[in-house]
Structure 1
Amino acid sequence: MSKNFLKSSIENASLNILLQIGFRCLTFVLNACVLRHVSQDEIGITNVRLLLLESTVLFLSREAFRRACLTATTQHDWPKVINLIWLSVPLCIGISGVCGYVWLNLLEQPNISLTLHYKFGVWSILISCVMELCSEQLYIVGQAFLFVRVQIALEIINITIRTIIYTTLVMSWSGQNAVLAFSFAQLASIFIYTLSFYAYFWYYLRNKNDNLPFNSMWDLFPKIFKKKWSECLDFRLVLLLWSFLKQGFMKQLLTDGERYVMTFFNTLKFNQQGVYDIINNLGSLAARFLFRPVETASYFYFSQLVHRDVPIKKQIEQDSNRIKEVVNVLECLLRVNSSIGLVVLSFGQAYAKLALYLYGGSALAVGIGPIILKMHCLSILFLAVNGIIECYAAATMNITELNQYNVEMVYLSVIFIFISFVLSSFFGGLGFILANCCNFAFRIIQCGRYIISQYKNTNYSPLKSLIPKKLFLMTLILSTILTLYSENIYFENDKVFHVLFGAILFFITVSIWLFEEISTLKFLSKVYHKKYN
């Protein structure tokens, strides 16, 4: 079973990475075209105001259910779990009602000269969120029973339809009514995504249902016919769900804190929000390409192999090989993620300006934009480390530890919002990046303390893998100096040479990392062979 979970996690992460790279490249090219036709004000409305609404509703409605219901899936009483998952739909409706009222009545409304379709955009987001939650039980079942390729295929469908519809409408309307185009694309993509999920499971259960504890599609809908609630719901999961729900609100504040500050306190105008979002999206490519898929797969893996309510020392005594594998995976992930973050930080200093020039034209490559993107490279390093440490902590903490963690998150959220407000008032978009760096640093310390205490008085110390090897670190420092010199001399007159020079240094840097990380490569090779054996 351990091998199956590891195989699924690796396959899930690798396919997700390939999906993200392939389709983010597509959206990158299409967005670069759209940016030249859509005003920065409308980008601020869609990419900050409306997408913040979507992330708020979806995160608060489903994240806790996913984390709770994907814990120890081999021990589930699935009829009770299905009942529990469907509670996310009324929760989503309630959260949508509250957020919809706030977005339509309490927040500053965009001027009618910017868009006529803001209200329709809000309603499209709310409807699409409820629609998506109606297939949440299928997503969780697919994750639990390792339907990796199906979920990847449906993500492809979702991204493709949304991107094509939005781009087509924007280009055909000559950049007018971008918010309306965004709303149509949102509704169409989520409708087809949800319908495709149901169609696949209907076909699978009709023709091949030996691997699932369900006989028909009706088993994937709630059945609350018992008189006692204890016969309808798994209260062990309910308690875990409640802990994650309390944590979810604080985590959402920490994740999208800068968007909440600029939305609720108007520290940036819509056009400034649009510029910040463009730069933030460009700077977050590594996070979306690599870190997020790896974190999703890692959480599932750790949650299956590490028991929440059993001390790690006792688990080592019971099955030392299993815990040794878990620690090796954790060390490998921390080593790889932190190395990627260091490379991004090193080369981002000299190529931030070029990236903005290629992505949005000369207008983005002047002013404070390059400085924000350079600082964003530092936040990527913090994000790379925090993602793995936090997902491991969330996957292995017991309920008492989760509740204590939630209390700490409350304090951290208040501090983060305050820092974001103060720094953005003085430094604009750059202040949000600085606040994010502080946010991730605090969270790394918080979860790092938990991991250190968990493995105290054992032979394992997984956080030591965060320390880079000497030759690799020296190469990064030298590459940063040389590429900055190249930018200063060649950027204006010979951009091709500047790119080639950086490519050579990048190749040297990666080669040195591979040379020094022989043990990491051997472990990855072992994992690869285990997957296919």
Structure 2
Amino acid sequence: MARNFLKSSLQNASFNIIFQILFRCVTFGLNAFVLRHVSQSVVGVMNVRLLLLESTILFLSREAFRRACLSKTTEHNWAQVINLLWLTVPLCQFFSFIFGYIWLHVLTPPSTDITQHYTLGVWAICLSCVIEMFCEPVYLVAQAFLFVRFKVVLDTIHIFVRTATFTPLIIYQPHQAVVAFSVAQVLAACVYTVGHYVYFHYYITKLMKKRAAQKMIDSNGKPPVNLRFVRRDSIAEIEDEFPFESLMDFLPAKIEDQLSINYGLSRLTWSFFKQGIMKQVLTEGERYIMTLFSVLTFSEQGVYDIVNNLGSLAARFLFRPIEESAYFYFSQMVARDTTIQEQNQKHMAEAANVLYQLLRCITCIGLVILVFGQSYSCFLLYLYGGESLIMGPGPTLMRTHCLAVLLLAINGITECYAFATMNAAQLDKYNYLMAILSVSFLVVSWLLTKAFGGVGFIVANCCNMAARIGHSIQFIQIQYLNTEFKPLRGLIPGPYFLITLVSVFMITQISQALFFEWFKLLHLGVGVICFVSVTISWAYEERELVSLAIQKWATKSQALKQE
């Protein structure tokens, strides 16, 4: 039975969003509490300097492998894929040593007045990264075989363990925040890695028993009741497609009469790796500028990071799950080395429609964030960190960041489609463009930050995103040039929605000027009413999509009741 990639991608995105919203609400409250116990300088050390180290090591160690090995998973020789994925462990160890040394001996360390535990923090990050690499083969198998709920639950546990460990330690020892941060990082990495192997040990053990029991199915073809634990579409699908029979199959091994590693996947991984270096610079460029050139103090970095985290909430719990699921879906549906006209037209129509709907929804969400962000940035910062966050440049940073969120949303979908469907030659060509963009971005960031402070980072990031969007749009236009499909029209929202947004912008600006200082709840109430109005206008514009979603939900609910 063929896997339903669209259904699983939608499930993956929806479960991700639900759990991310739930736990981001929890961590939002905990972080707001922590901000009242930890200085902004320490926040700058942990959330900018140390988390940049983690991001750099993890991205360079595994991102290229993930993107390459999630392409056309139904055609993989999994023994070769597992061997390839285990290369992430020594690669991570290499990067941990190199970047750990740079962070300790090349970069300017924070003064002892800020923290005395910087060295511990650096090595804790390196250790946690290496620990996480040991579950990379299992992680990718879970992705490829559509273990949607498992992935989301384990990601949520990872966040929960880290937050639940860090927060109590901060309460009792606020001056040892970096120690608490280090303990939380290592413990969360251990739980995350062990969790993968524990689950698959349980799953494979049960699966082997079910395969044995299947031989005892009675003559009418109905399986015993105890076979119904299986979470996939059917027992036959698992038996036919799931190739692992023990945890030992997840370890590297020599393959008889075959190459140990698929060199086609290796070349694709190398292409993604070269591209990944540039993408990492573009994604974390402002943090590299802060870290390498010290254009902001640790305290200013802390404020910037707080604003950036708040401004990126939508990107983290909404856009990123959608992008991950969309990348997986498009990589399975659209072949890299074949034109659209030469592929299955039914599949291409579905893929084009999915891209259209994604662009339409993402653009609308981004515009809503941009409009409401102009009037409610102060309110959000006040709620999160109190008066101290709204007295300085925080509100201006937040308002500017809302524009970056819109561009980030559009870039995420257009670029994930491009990456999922480009062939190796196109990826290599794109690497050169990324190199140019990376250098330009760093130069522009440095110049604008010197002139405008933290806002300069955000403006430079907007320029970077706009350039990447332009390239991805050009790629999609060329790909669909001689076809009947027009997925890029999804970038243009409906007229009623746009008119409502303009009206809401003016109303909320007036409310900000009149009510925020003396009656914040009234200002919030105006925003709620305006948001409902925008939602209604969007639902009217997208009534076909809303109707389809309601029908799907009703059908699923009815099926669950019948079971």
Calculate the TM-score normalised by the size of structure 2: 0.91
Q: In the alignment, does 2:263 pair up with 1:232?
A: no
How far 1:527 moved relative to its partner? Answer: 6.5
What does residue 292 of structure 1 align with? 320
Alpha-carbon offset, residue 526 of structure 1: 6.8
Task: State the secondary structure of the residue aligned to 2:37.
Answer: coil
> Secondary structure of the residue that 1:496 maps to in structure 2?
helix
Unaligned runs of 5+ in 1: none
Once residues 88 and 276 of structure 2 are traced to their aligned partners in structure 1, the CA distance between those partners, rounded to angstroms, is 13
SS, match of residue 233 in structure 1: coil
- Deviation string 1:139-164 (CA, Å, 9 cap, x unpaired) is 00001111111111211211111001
> What does residue range 155-170 of structure 1 map to in structure 2 within 5 Å?
155-170=155-170
Name the residue aligned to 1:85.
Answer: 85
Q: 1:71 and 2:71 equivalent?
A: yes
Distance (Å, rounded) in 1 between the aligned partners of 2:486 and 2:552? 21
2:334 maps to 306
After TM superposition, give the deviation of residue 463 of structure 1 in Å: 0.8
Instruction: Work out the CA distance in 1 between the residues paired with 2:536 and 2:349.
Output: 28
Residue from 484, 489, 493 that aligns with 2:518: 493
From 299, 303, 311, the counterpart of 1:271: 299
Output aligned runs, 1:189-204, within 5 Å.
189-204=188-203
What does residue range 348-363 of structure 1 map to in structure 2 within 5 Å?
348-363=373-388
Rounded Cα–Cα distance in structure 2 between residues aligned with 1:531 and 1:77? 35
Letter in 1 for 2:204: L
How do residues 87-486 of structure 1 correspond to structure 2 at under 5 angstroms? 87-173=87-173, 175-209=174-208, 211=238, 212-224=242-254, 231-315=259-343, 319-486=344-511
TM-superposed deviation, 1:520: 3.0
Q: Deviations over 1:225-247 (max 9, x none)?
A: 66x8x610111111111110110
SS in 2 for 1:14: helix
Q: Residue 198 and residue 40 in structure 1: after superposition, are their counterparts in 2 closer, same or farther (change >3 A)? A: same
Measure how far apart 1:474 and its partner are. 1.3
**Match of 2:188, as an amino acid?**
S
Q: Which amino acid aligns with 1:256?
A: E
Tell me, in whole angstroms, the C-alpha distance in 2 between the residues paired with 1:484 and 1:96. Answer: 48
**What residue is the counterpart of 1:505 in the other structure?**
530
Aligned-pair CA distance for 1:521: 2.5
Q: How far apart are the structure 2 equivalents of 1:215 and 1:496?
A: 58
Whose Rg is larger?
2
| Mapped contact 1:2–1:305 kept (Cα < 8 A) | no
Deviation of residue 196 (structure 1)? 1.2
Q: Aligned AA for 1:131?
A: I
**Aligned residue identity for 1:306:** V
AA aligned to 1:201 is: F
Contact 2:20 2:156 in 1 (8 A): no
SS in 1 for 2:4: helix
TM-superposed deviation, 1:367: 2.2
Query: In structure 2, how many angstroms separate the alpha carbons of the residues matched to 1:291 and 1:530?
Result: 27
- Alpha carbons of 1:13 and 1:125: their partners in 2 closer, same or farther (altered >3 Å)? same
Supply the distance in 2 between the matched residues of 1:394 and 1:527 (Cα, whole angstroms).
30
Contact 1:124 1:186 in 2 (8 A): yes
Please give the alpha-carbon distance, in whole angstroms, between the structure 2 residues aligned to 1:96 and 1:452.
40
Distance 1:305 1:38, change over 3 A: same
Task: Give the match for residue 6 of structure 2.
Answer: 6
Question: 2 CA distance for matches of 1:437 and 1:257?
Answer: 12
For the 8 Å contact 2:414–2:473, the answer to whether it is kept is yes
SS where residue 365 of structure 1 aligns?
helix
Deviations along 1:451-486, one digit per CA (max 9) or x if unpaired, are 000000111111111112112111111111111111
Kept in 2: contact 1:59–1:252 (CA 8 A): yes
**Would the aligned equivalents of 2:358 and 2:490 in 1 still touch at CA under 8 Å?**
no
* Aligned 8 A contact 2:312 2:405 in 1: yes
Counterpart of 1:79, as a letter, is: A
* 1: CA distance, partners of 2:265 / 2:337: 13
Q: Are the aligned partners of 1:7 and 1:530 in contact in 2 as well (CA < 8 Å)? A: no
Name 1:33's counterpart in structure 2.
33
1:91-134 deviation line (CA, Å, top 9, x unaligned): 11111111111101100011011111100000000000010000
| Counterpart for residue 541 of structure 2 | 516
Shift of 1:530: 9.1
User: What 5-or-longer segments of structure 2 have no aligned partner?
Assistant: 212-237
Q: How many residues align?
A: 527
Shift of the 167–156 alpha-carbon distance from structure 1 to 2, 3 Å rule, reads same
In 2, distance between residues paired with 1:2 and 1:339? 33
2:216 is aligned to none
